[in-house]
Amino acid sequence: MTSSTRARLTLAGAAITFGTVVAARAPARQTSSPPPPAFEAATIKLAAAGAVPNRMTSPSPNRLSIASMTLTSLVYTAYGNGGFNTSMRVTGGPDWVNRTSFAVEGVDVGTVTPLQLRLMLRTLLEDRFALKLRHEAPVGGILTLTVDRPDGTLGPKVKPWSGTCPAVMPALVFPAPRRQIVNGPPLETVEANVAYCPTGYRQGGITADGVTMATVAELLSLPPARALLGTITQDRTGLTGRYAMELDYLFAAGPPAAAPEFGAPSLATVVREQWGLRLVPGKGPLEAFVIESAQLPTPN
């Protein structure tokens, strides 16, 4: 059995001090169903001051690293689909779930996929935070992203992905989650919502590189585009390939504007002209998780 070094949690007034917690995987129990996926070893502690927030990376094919996330953000990460999760909402829980940030490290034996890492993170959150969630799946009004042209031809600013990323990383706002390990799992094991190359909003538009249409729909659901479109967008194109795409459009600087400048074409028109895609009102599933109860991490 793997040995463990347990953290000690001290609460003194408003001060919270965490030691490093190493959680070792317990032996499998004799049950009728297999135990949930769990890290071989993991640590949870308070995030360091100045740590980059809301970023999950995989320094190696069997390791997860999160420098700074609140419990609410950790739920998005663990229970989401690996992308922006724009169709997902997390509510509830005590006040600290949105105020206190934690650093999480987890490692397993052998190579694992991003999905497996997130499943292990779920187990860790349920164990260490005594997390109890309620899952809801309402249906709401959305925009659906569809192919505009009857022959399926896409627009002039959409190309099949070349299989390589640019040597110079562009400056992006709202960067999309993307593949971290160059020599990691083959393409078919990387989820549709995970980009291969830097993707996000740039000055004067959007760059999407090595992406599926699932990520494109999520980009259009983020604040700069959502403020213009009025709701989130979900992919209904039926396309499964990966593409390199550019959208030239002057999104408002600072807080999103309610409409483009006078005389400018609408965002929906630009998406149709440059990408050959149409935005159509429709209905779609919306993921919702309610934190019914949670505790600050305790010693294992």
Average model confidence (pLDDT) across the chain: 84
pLDDT in tens, 221-262: 999 999 999 999 999 999 999 999 999 999 976 554 444 444
Angstrom distance (rounded) from CA 235 to CA 279: 10
User: Is the Cβ–Cβ distance between 158 and 243 less than 8 Å?
Assistant: yes
Residues whose CB falls within 8 Å of the CB of residue 294, separated by 6 or more in sequence, listed in order: 71, 93, 94, 97, 129, 130, 131, 132
Cα 128 off chain centre by: 22
Instruction: Give CA separation, 282 vs 1, 62, 146, 266, in Å.
Output: 53, 40, 11, 19
66-116 residue pLDDT tens: 999 999 999 999 999 888 999 999 999 999 999 999 999 999 998 888 889
Asked which of 4-8, 131-135, 283-287 is least confident by mean pLDDT, the reply is 4-8
**What is the C-alpha to C-alpha distance for residues 147 and 118, in angstroms, rounded to an integer?**
32
What average pLDDT does the segment 20-44 reach? 70
Domain range list for the chain: 9-137+286-293, 140-285
Note the pLDDT of residue 23: 45
Cα–Cα distance between 81 and 84 in angstroms, integer?
A: 8
Q: pLDDT tens, 109-125? A: 988 888 899 999 999 99
The first and second tokens of residue 265, run together, are 């074409």
For the ranges 48-62, 115-129, 253-267, 278-292, which has the lowest average pLDDT? Answer: 253-267
CA distance linking residue 118 with residue 74, whole number of Å: 10
Q: What is the pLDDT of residue 264?
A: 67
How many Cβ atoms from other residues are within 10 Å of residue 89's Cβ? 14
SS3 sequence of 284-300: EECEEEEEEECCCCCCC
Closest C-alpha to 233, from 251, 257, 216, 246: 216
Share of residues in the chain with pLDDT > 70 (%):
81
How remote is the C-alpha of 299 from its chain's centroid?
29
Residue pair 91/138 in contact (Cβ under 8 Å)? The answer is: no
Say whether pTM exceeds 0.85.
no
- Tokens representing 130? 């005594």
